[in-house]
Structure 1
Amino acid sequence: MRGIRAHIDASSVRPIVGFALYWAWIDVALVGVPLARSVAVNTLFGDLTSMVSVLFCILVYVLCYRAPALFECTRKRTVRWAIAALASAGAILVSLGGALSLGMLAGGLALIGLGMGAIVLMWAEDYASDKQGRGYVWVAGSIALSFPFYLVAIELSDWMRIVAVSVLPLASCALLAPPRQDLPLTPKSERTVFACSAADDESARACTVMGFPRNVAFWFAAFGFVFGIMQRFSGSTVFLDSVLMDFQQGGRALAAVVFFVGLCVFSWKPHTAYRLSTSIVLVGLVLVPIFGSNGSFAAGFIAHMAYGFFECMSWTIVFEVMRVHRSDAGATAGAARLLSSAGLLAGTLAIVVARTMFAADALQMQSILSSAVCILVIATMLVLDTNGIDNVWAMMKAGSDGAPSSGRSGAEVNGLLRQSAAALGQAHGLTERETQILALLAQGRTSPYISNELLIGVNTVNTHKRRIYQKLGVHDKQELIDMVAGFPSKTSDAEHDPSNNTRS
């Protein structure tokens, strides 16, 4: 219970419920209103209709990433309400468009896509402003809560459902916190797109894609690609009028519940939650081809469960990147969503074309899905490579072992630890490089992180660590952290020296 209280309090209700309404709105607008009923069923256009929204989502992410001033506009309350109103209008057009005209349907999908992209970035900024770093915990809670909201809305009559899809984005916007003007925005000139960071050591150059390490960027795109294949794996007529189709969405809610409970009750660290969630996802995806392409409930449930874990894990990575690199929400969340949305679009196109070509050959379809799962397995293995330079996995692990806090900000604590490490290193005859590594170890940093920070090899870091342990007479990291934290620095001595007190 103590873990739950640490993550969930009165201030948590607003963001969890607000983002849950957003997720429910997307599901009702794009899944609850069967688009295939409004267009030709089992045709290329019918399969790709919802991808119009994904295309406009990608457009929003690109614009906000490349032009920070556009994202700056979303901090105005009037602009936020205008975006929510357009999203509501788009949902209404989608609900009525099929009965009236395909032009209205396409226009509604475009407005939904613009609203989806903008609203998720606004919520990312809201979550990022939480000083206790509970953003990804709130995301898991909101995904889980969105499922009952979705079930209630989907069981309404047609006209009541139209009212629901028009109200949900407005209600979500109403729960957004007042925009903060002091949140930083990364200047366009400092945003890295398909470039390599400069480094003196050529072997230490870390190529990035939209600010993420290449392996992590590939993981975002690969998961979107695989889910795009899985969600279109069955024919569009299967479960079209069945309650089972609605409950397939419960797989995503179940994944979010597992993630949420693990973080709150069992005190999972971000990297622990990532590892366990990844294991569950990979086991589930290996089972999907076994169920075949006959649209079984189990296959759909596992597919949505995998996507639920992906949402939770991707937000964990996003918030850890924002925390460590101090990047703004629009740039980081927008880049992550752009990569996964592009993969989703590619996967959907691939499976639609494949199903058209191999409609009567179940073995070919099974092979395609199995190959897609292999792609995701490879991407996951790359992310779990803890020796990679600038690896988010190592960054998450380092952030979970932070040094003791004394009520000061993280920057103040790290500054005091560096001063204490310098004094301790001088007292025990540590070299300058060993003192640098000692300061980073005292902050809970791992060898891969230190390797990236100091541009030296991991083996070199480990050699220095052994020498530091020998000179200080400690046996593990916790002893080292306690020793540095308890060693007085010159600054801390001066703060506690009565002779430094002045009288007014």
Structure 2
Amino acid sequence: MPHASATARTNQMRALMGGAFLPSFLGLAATRVWLQVNLFASYTQSDDGLFTVVNNLAYGLVMVIGAAIALRKPFSKGNRTTVAWLGFAVMTFSTVLILAGKETGAVDILAVASVCAGIGGALGGGMWTAAYVRLGLRQSVLYGFLSLALGSLGGLALSFLPEALSYTVSMFMPAIALLCYQRAMKTDVGPQPAPEPIYDKEPRSTMLFIFGGLAVFGLALGISRGFPAGEPVPMDALQRVVHQMGVVVISLFIIWWFIVKRKRLSFSFLWRIEIMLVAAGMLILSVFPGHFTGLAIATVNIADTLMLGVLWITLQDVARHTTTDVYAVYGFAWASRVLSRDAGRVLIMVLGAMGASSYAVTAVIGIVVFALAASMALLLSDGILKLRPLFTEDVAAPARRSAAGAARETRRAEMEGAGASTPAPAAMPSAQAQPDPQEWFRDAFDLSERETEVALLIAQGRSKSYIAEALCLSENTVRTHAKNVYTKLDVHSKQELIDLLQNRE
């Protein structure tokens, strides 16, 4: 009994996580720690001023170039390996340059280091897209936001070290990230339903809405981070803790909400969190100027950092459901965010250098409010993508079921033709020993296709409202299908249904 109980708990955990735990995918956190130290001065201030502007410009331009190349010709396996190694090399080299520039005070070395850091950050972050696109939705949310939380904890710890030591420690992050990436690319992520390229049929106007929404929101973030005078705002220990631990808490909440509680994750839900954080930061800046500036910037930085996770899992979901190369999907969207944020940062720097009057400050606040309102109008909806809502979990595709049925008919014909004397190919016993759950449910209990889909979603712990939305049915229809399923399977509860599925032969 104890062994059976432990097995049941293990199976339950695997179901929650979408498969076995895959620690190599958390190597993304190492990349994020490096980015914080080398691009944003460990967030000991709102950013690193002109150094951040330059490296973010290089970062965004590399993203655009890479996306354009991938759009014209998808990256091969060899090309992706090259990107990973280049990212490792340029990231490490740029940290060496930063240390040398700060030690000698040489502006020219720091200028080159800034450009190299932006290029390395784009390559080192971009390489992970090829690994994450292999994951299912639940895995992507789990490892994406867990990496974000771990990266915040690591960045917070390094922010309290002496500057030279924090850069030295960060120098090892690219190597750790590369090793984890290589392992992640070889790791068996478990069986995943084959996603259909449904987004290939999306109208082009959809992409304009998405990029436009990201751009105006990025503009608001850039302005907020340098408000009101354009100079980086120093952040004391408490403000750094508020920023980084705020990211950790919200990331863990999202994991708890979607993975543990099995609630539906919607894009509008995540976007509301982003909007509210930036709006709260700007409210504090405008109502209490000079008194709570650090706290306001910490709040804005929570939104900016959290945006990494939100955009990461959103683009992962899009990339899995289109034939467009993953580098193109991530590259253009990420560039629209980074370059627009950089433009906002430059705007507030220029106004600060000119000596911002009260009128100019009011105008800046108006721009931020307009940008937030525009991003809400463009992106605050789950229906942005017309053909499939974001974060809808895949089920076994009909083509896959048909293939399984065809394989079964082939095996039956071979058995009859050979008098069951000829052994089946090596792959056949495995297929028979572990039948597809959807095939098994349908054939063993004479369920319809829709009843089978409802049964599997119930076995995943989904609510009737979730099933109704996922399958485009009314809740009454779902109840009818569920009643038929329980009758045909002779079960009386959700747990009995789950046990039946787990104990199938």
User: Which band: TM-score by shorter chain?
Assistant: 0.5 to 0.7
**Structure 2 counterpart of 1:126, which letter?**
A
Does 2:124 align with 1:119? yes
Per the alignment, residue 92 of structure 1 pairs with 96
2:22 aligned counterpart, secondary structure: helix
In the TM superposition, 1:15-414 aligns within 5 A as 15-16=25-26, 18-32=27-41, 47-68=49-70, 71-72=75-76, 75=79, 77=81, 80-98=84-102, 99-131=104-136, 134-178=139-183, 179=185, 206-208=203-205, 213-235=207-229, 240=234, 242-244=236-238, 246-250=240-244, 251-271=246-266, 274-292=267-285, 293-294=289-290, 296-361=293-358, 364-385=360-381, 390-391=385-386, 394-396=388-390, 399-400=392-393, 405=396, 411-413=399-401
Say whether the 8 Å CA contact 1:20–1:146 is kept in structure 2: yes
Distance in structure 1 (CA, Å) of the matches to 2:43 and 2:315: 32
1:395 aligned counterpart, secondary structure: coil
Cα 1:31–1:387 shift into 2, 3 Å: closer
Distance in structure 2 (CA, Å) of the matches to 1:373 and 1:63: 31
Distance in structure 2 (CA, Å) of the matches to 1:72 and 1:254: 38
**Structure 2 counterpart of 1:144, which letter?**
A
1:124 aligned counterpart, secondary structure: helix
Distance in structure 2 (CA, Å) of the matches to 1:155 and 1:308: 19
Q: CA deviation at 1:277?
A: 2.7
1:396 aligned counterpart, secondary structure: coil
Q: CA deviation at 1:25?
A: 0.9
Return the TM-score normalized by structure 1.
0.67
Tell me the alpha carbon deviations over residues 68-122 of structure 1, each in whole angstroms, 9 at most, x when there is no partner.
3684476565653342122111122123314331111111111111111112121
Distance in structure 2 (CA, Å) of the matches to 1:415 and 1:215: 38
Q: CA deviation at 1:152?
A: 2.3
Cα 1:86–1:309 shift into 2, 3 Å: closer
Distance in structure 1 (CA, Å) of the matches to 2:450 and 2:132: 28
Say whether the 8 Å CA contact 1:219–1:380 is kept in structure 2: yes
Runs of 4+ in 1 over 4 A off after TM superposition: 1-5, 33-36, 73-79, 234-239, 385-388, 413-417, 438-444, 477-484
Say whether the 8 Å CA contact 1:136–1:319 is kept in structure 2: no
**Structure 2 counterpart of 1:84, which letter?**
F
Say whether the 8 Å CA contact 2:216–2:375 is kept in structure 1: yes
Distance in structure 2 (CA, Å) of the matches to 1:256 and 1:152: 18
Say whether the 8 Å CA contact 2:55–2:118 is kept in structure 1: yes
Q: CA deviation at 1:278?
A: 2.5
Per the alignment, residue 458 of structure 2 pairs with none
Distance in structure 1 (CA, Å) of the matches to 2:154 and 2:44: 20
Q: CA deviation at 1:57?
A: 1.4
1:67 aligned counterpart, secondary structure: helix
Distance in structure 1 (CA, Å) of the matches to 2:317 and 2:450: 18
Distance in structure 1 (CA, Å) of the matches to 2:297 and 2:336: 23
Say whether the 8 Å CA contact 2:74–2:325 is kept in structure 1: no
Distance in structure 1 (CA, Å) of the matches to 2:353 and 2:308: 30
**Structure 1 counterpart of 2:22, which letter?**
S
Distance in structure 1 (CA, Å) of the matches to 2:378 and 2:112: 40
Q: CA deviation at 1:481?
A: 9.5
Q: CA deviation at 1:270?
A: 3.1
**Structure 2 counterpart of 1:307, which letter?**
D
Per the alignment, residue 490 of structure 1 pairs with none
Q: CA deviation at 1:241?
A: 7.0
**Structure 1 counterpart of 2:400, which letter?**
E
Cα 1:478–1:100 shift into 2, 3 Å: farther
Distance in structure 1 (CA, Å) of the matches to 2:479 and 2:120: 47
Identity of aligned residues (%): 16
Distance in structure 2 (CA, Å) of the matches to 1:380 and 1:411: 38
Q: CA deviation at 1:226?
A: 1.4
Distance in structure 1 (CA, Å) of the matches to 2:204 and 2:482: 32
Say whether the 8 Å CA contact 1:215–1:383 is kept in structure 2: yes
Tell me the alpha carbon deviations over residues 361-407 of structure 1, each in whole angstroms, 9 at most, x when there is no partner.
2x64254234323322332233245566x448x5226x24x55x5xx
**Structure 1 counterpart of 2:58, which letter?**
F
Cα 1:312–1:377 shift into 2, 3 Å: farther
Cα 1:387–1:151 shift into 2, 3 Å: closer
Distance in structure 2 (CA, Å) of the matches to 1:356 and 1:13: 47
Say whether the 8 Å CA contact 2:17–2:139 is kept in structure 1: yes
Which protein has greater RCO, CA pairs closer than 8 Å, 6+ apart?
2
Q: CA RMSD in A?
A: 4.3
Per the alignment, residue 477 of structure 2 pairs with 476
**Structure 2 counterpart of 1:256, which letter?**
S
Say whether the 8 Å CA contact 2:37–2:43 is kept in structure 1: no
Tell me the alpha carbon deviations over residues 26-74 of structure 1, each in whole angstroms, 9 at most, x when there is no partner.
11112336899xxxx9xxxx83321221122122212221213684476
Tell me the alpha carbon deviations over residues 440-465 of structure 1, each in whole angstroms, 9 at most, x when there is no partner.
99989xxxxxxxxxxxxxxxxxxxx9
Per the alignment, residue 411 of structure 2 pairs with none
In the TM superposition, 1:412-427 aligns within 5 A as 412-413=400-401
Say whether the 8 Å CA contact 2:59–2:119 is kept in structure 1: yes
Distance in structure 1 (CA, Å) of the matches to 2:398 and 2:105: 57
Say whether the 8 Å CA contact 1:74–1:122 is kept in structure 2: no
Say whether the 8 Å CA contact 1:73–1:79 is kept in structure 2: no
Return the TM-score normalized by structure 2.
0.67
1:325 aligned counterpart, secondary structure: coil
